[in-house]
Structure 1
Amino acid sequence: MVDAIVVGAGQAGLATAHHLQRRGLPFLMLEAGARPVGSWLRHYDSLKLFSPARYAALPGLPFPGDPDHYPARDEVTAYLEAYARQHRVPLVTGADVTQVLPTGAAFRVLTGDGRTFSTRTLVAATGTYRTPRVPELPGHASFQGRTLHSLEYRQPDPFRGERVVVVGAGNSAVQIAVELARMARVTLAARTPVPFVPQRPLGRDVHDWITWLQVDQLPLGQFGRLPSPRSVFDPGTYRAAFREGRLDQRPMFARFTARGVVWSTGREEAVDSVVFATGYRTGLEYLFGTGALDVRGEPVQRLGRSLTVPGLYYAGLSGQRAFASATLRGAGPDAELVVRYLAGHLQRQSSGPPGGPLAPLRAAWKARRR
């Protein structure tokens, strides 16, 4: 029995670990994969952050390199692994959590390989990039070409010479479409035009301006979960690619055919592949049956604290606390607030002599850490 179990060893889970350690709370971190990198390795090879390295650091460890550079995917995974090592996070890998069972004032946590863990509180830190969202479109089942979600996309080489449609209007959709356009005929299809924003207005990254104005850290999540920002940050190459005709943008197609798609104009066109960069849904299936989720499978929470299951918390949800939630720069503040709630819950649970009945366990934990 530990004070807390953190499910998921991505940026949200690791930031949560940092704040649990600062309070001396014994905990375990359970990670389905073999490395403490969250979902980063599942994303495409050329992925780069849309914000400079100075905003990619978790609490307690600066991000290496030039603060103005835009880290690549593999730089982020190396940083997260270094973070887990430096903080000596008590990590259990290969522990894919399949079910959480509330048991009075505690939880039993079951993994796919048959292990069971017990904890007084639980932080669901599996984030927002776990389960792909693909829209249901007429004729999809009859389409003989290739369809995939951006989570399955790795690099453009397999699409060389093809006719490709990328569906989506976010940063990933645009980045993938522009990359594919180097070796394929590409159309970006979206229900709304892409909302481009200059990456470096007046010579400074847009996140510098956002930070100075404190826009994306305002705790507006107290009024409900916030929508995901829809702006696409353009370093100067994305809009240029469209202007120069290397790819085009069209309204979303109406339906699939066996060999392609039918555009909103009624024109049918043969297509080899369709890449859906259409985001994700919250993948919290392991909480089914706890009463923590609504009918859509979304958590009933405010600022990361469950409103229906005492002792259950969330980290890494999009729009959980602020617009920066679910990003590297938002992970630390979100985790700090969640751990504050969690510590208060444990304190209310405890009784007896000063320090409560958990004091000996915490003292032993601190001694082991030293």
Structure 2
Amino acid sequence: MTSEYAYDAVVIGGGQSGLAAAHHLTGQGLNTAIVEASEEATGSWPRYYDSLTLFSPARYSALPGRRFPGDPDRYPHRDEVVDYLRSYAAGLDADIHTDTLVEAVSASDGEGFAVTTGSGAVFTAPRVIAATGSFGSPFLPALPGRDEFGGDILHASQYRDQGEFAGRRVVVVGAGNSAVQIAAELAEHAQVVLASRAAVKFVPQRPLGWDVHFWFALTGFDAAPLGRIVKAAPTQPVFDEGRYRAALAAGKPQRREMFTAFTPEGVVWPSGDRSAVDAVLYATGYRPHLPYLAGIGALTDTGAPQQRQGLSLTHPGLGFLGLEWQRTPSSNSLRGVGRDAAYLVRRLWPATARRQEHAR
């Protein structure tokens, strides 16, 4: 038997973006459901690598309405973020449906949306927010010879710790925070090369004694258009107190220009040199994970949402959260998603529409 649930708003995804959206929706008095595929509303955080540490202090890493506990100037670890999100979800006045995978969203003119799940349950609402992030769609650039490579190829989303790589020859691909952090960690136990198309760009973590996020807040860097300067750069900066810069300077890991092809035994460098390699780990980011919207024409041919600042260009009442550069440099981060959620809720559900809805 099919179960049907009617809500004012349905949020697909119970990670940081979905939780922030639910905070603002319920704050407007809207009956809200969060539909989350995993067993609890903590997003992809439990699946990140063990040593992951935020590069923003706790005071700048909170969702709206609830401070991050503990020393506000420390840099929280992965498990602290998981605990924080778990507590945040428990404090929301929203119905959270876990272990519930969304398979499809359908739309009817003037009648809102129907969200169908793998169990057969259907959630209906006049407004839907897609907040499933990108962890489910890791990006691995295609290079010649990849299918013939005899070693391991994996993405940073599959990396947990350095144990399985001890003593091996590893190439980490990327130049961002995760790539550098993973490569430096592995280099303590393995032979590691950090391969990237552009050199790593380091930014001091604490210029003039204050964390860089203090300066972001003071200058308004996180707000467009100032942040677009960074978006146009060939690589995103790596925040560092000196540890990672020193590691690269010492050759642990060694940094090389991106290889051009795979061989059965390893990789080919731009110089033509070849290296034997046991594993290649891509820290090359993600793409939006929105397969459930493919059937209604809300996505481009490449699976990207057709949206502007989180508002669907194809379906009134449909919104997106947690997209990289959705509105600002921090749109897909703990420190920025709350602002985007507030902006989106205001535009998806204007005050006049709320009054009309509740007057029925």
Q: TM-score per shorter chain, which class?
A: over 0.9
Matched to 2:358, the amino acid is L
CA RMSD after TM alignment = 1.8
1:202 aligned onto 2:208: yes
Contact 2:134 2:286 in 1 (8 A): yes
Deviates more, 1:315-324 or 1:270-279: 315-324
Instruction: Tell me the matched-pair count.
Output: 351
What is the deviation of 1:203?
Answer: 1.2
Change (3 A) 1:357 1:278: closer
- 1:172 is aligned, of 153, 170, 178, to 178
Cross-structure match for 1:36: 41
Q: Does 1:17 align with 2:15?
A: no
Q: Which residue of 78, 89, 106 maps to 2:94? A: 89
Relative to the length of structure 1, the TM-score reads: 0.91
Q: CA deviation at 1:300?
A: 1.4
For the residue of structure 1 that corresponds to 2:295, the secondary structure is: coil
Deviation at 1:277, TM superposition (A): 0.3
Query: 1:303-345: per-residue Cα shift (whole Å, max 9, x none)?
Result: 211111111001111111111101111111100011101212x
C-alpha change, 1:122 and 1:259, in structure 2 (3 Å) is same
Aligned equivalent of 1:136: 142
Q: Which amino acid aligns with 2:326?
A: Q
How big is each residue's C-alpha offset from its partner over 1:85-118, in whole Å with a ceiling of 9 and x where there is no partner?
Answer: 1224310001111110002221111112222111
Runs (5+) with no aligned partner, structure 2: 1-5
Deviation string, structure 1 residues 265-302 (Cα, Å, up to 9, x no partner): 11111101110001001111111121211222111111
SS of residue in 2 equivalent to 1:166? strand
Q: How does 1:1-370 map to 2 (within 5 A)?
A: 1-105=6-110, 106-218=112-224, 230-344=236-350, 347-348=352-353, 355-356=355-356, 358-359=358-359
Ranges in structure 1 where 5+ consecutive residues have no aligned partner: 361-370
Q: Which amino acid aligns with 1:358?
A: H
The separation in 1 between residues aligned to 2:190 and 2:255, in whole angstroms, is 15
Structure 1 residues 357 and 87, CA gap change in structure 2 (3 angstroms): closer
Moved more, 205-214 or 121-130: 121-130
Q: Is the 2:306–2:312 contact (alpha carbons within 8 Å) kept by the matching residues of 1?
A: yes
**CA distance in structure 2 between the partners assigned to 1:269 and 1:215 by the alignment:** 42
CA distance in 1, matches of 2:298, 2:33: 21
AA in 1 matched with 2:39: A
Q: Deviations over 1:232-256 (max 9, x none)?
A: 1112100101112322100011111
Report if aligned partners of 1:134, 1:278 keep a CA contact under 8 Å in 2.
yes
Instruction: Please give the alpha-carbon distance, in whole angstroms, between the structure 1 residues aligned to 2:114 and 2:39.
Output: 22
2:26–2:93 Cα contact (<8 Å) kept: no
